[in-house]
Structure 1
């Protein structure tokens, strides 16, 4: 900075103001300083600035996988919102969903100097009594149940599932079969519990679940099993990728969608409208989740007295062409006048 000041013929304080974008510098002086910076190849030292002001303008993000739609789109939304607030993000994937893995990630992110951390915790690790995060670290948790210990931001998983099941029952289906996600997944459990509760409240039979792993391949395997169930006329898949696999399996088995079987997904990925048929699905507002995460974390950073709590972002059912009323039961007369149902 001193070198730039000498070359530009100004004070070091003026160079500092120009490098930070301070408005109190006349334009001709600003151009003179910028030209000197260019000649000397000067770049402001962000690490030194951070040490001086006690803020690094960086948010750490801990997660276990980017393979799922929810996680990848949540990270994208967090990065977008953080940039709008003048923050960068440091992404830290954790290989194993264990207490040691999470605590190790916190330690390493601390060494990288971040102002706060967002934990995308799809599994139930935070529910464990023995898991405590390091004291003094500002944290927001996504997609888990942290009780009253940490602020939580999540999509309203249960209400989204309720909308999907009620839509199918409202079309006249006797019950709804479910392709669920992994057993250890918080969002999968919430969606499955809501599916079951709606059927029980309506006095309907609760069919056995088909367990998937979020992939289209697991949805395909579940779809093959359901295609062989003559009573199956409606399927709620816990995400759109598994719904895609279900659609393929039903097509291969000759079960028409939606004429014979209706299918609903969850996520509303950008390709959902291009499925064949276009998929009825539950829309998640990932941009709003990212905005709430960043704002919640910054609120803690600026006011350590901010209280923990859970923020649920609403979901919306998007109805497309993959759902319809169940097949009509047709009666025909046998010779002699007796009716037969087909």
Structure 2
């Protein structure tokens, strides 16, 4: 991705980051993205705390954008907000339908719900049951589904045809490729099912994050601060794409959620509830007052880690060493050394 972040040209010395680096491991309430523990490396700079938490399978080049975002938070701070409260959706992982009420209960009152679908090892019937259970619990909520590129084009058209019976706000990344998204969008409209298509991976994993918009392959973008290289870079991408945006998390601690809230607060328009309520999926956090939804929204406020919580959730020594080694490599990647 060209110009990953304004911070990339002025990366602080590695020693300054290492001085305050803390590695945490937070247990998940339910398996999400195939993990049961969420690990992240946190560090403090002159502007506050940053979070570096690319998932383990990401290479150093892709992870460098996550580090740029963390440095932006810790060294530059965030742009001026235009709103001080951010509407958020609940997130339902690929759980069985009978667990849906318990998952939703942890989010409190919400007006929108994102439901994970197309989970490996599950069937379309499982997705239908899960989404139907959400609709049963929340008759008036906006429901969006996220396939993480798990279907092919015919499978996506079939699945969205069935799932749209409950009423869908939009479908996020139903297929992996930009060309596939465009074809799904075309077929749905030809079939009289104008389900909106949201692009996630086709924004944050592409060298050109705006290509999906130019290809007419999406109706809206899902943007995440860390994978895009920071709040300022994400704002540039949204402006260039000219499409509505939903701000989502990367399964962050409250430190990372704070960056997501900063992006949502700085966007000129925010037509959709954001996927920033995911601290509810963790069994612990690094701040005393986690950034979690209250009556369907999260107020904009700072999130500074608590020393006792950093100790309580400190990662085992071997995992700490793994993250510090990764930090060294990615810092070298970002700074061009």
TM over 0.5: no
TM-score (norm 2): 0.31
Larger Rg belongs to: 1
TM-score (norm 1): 0.30
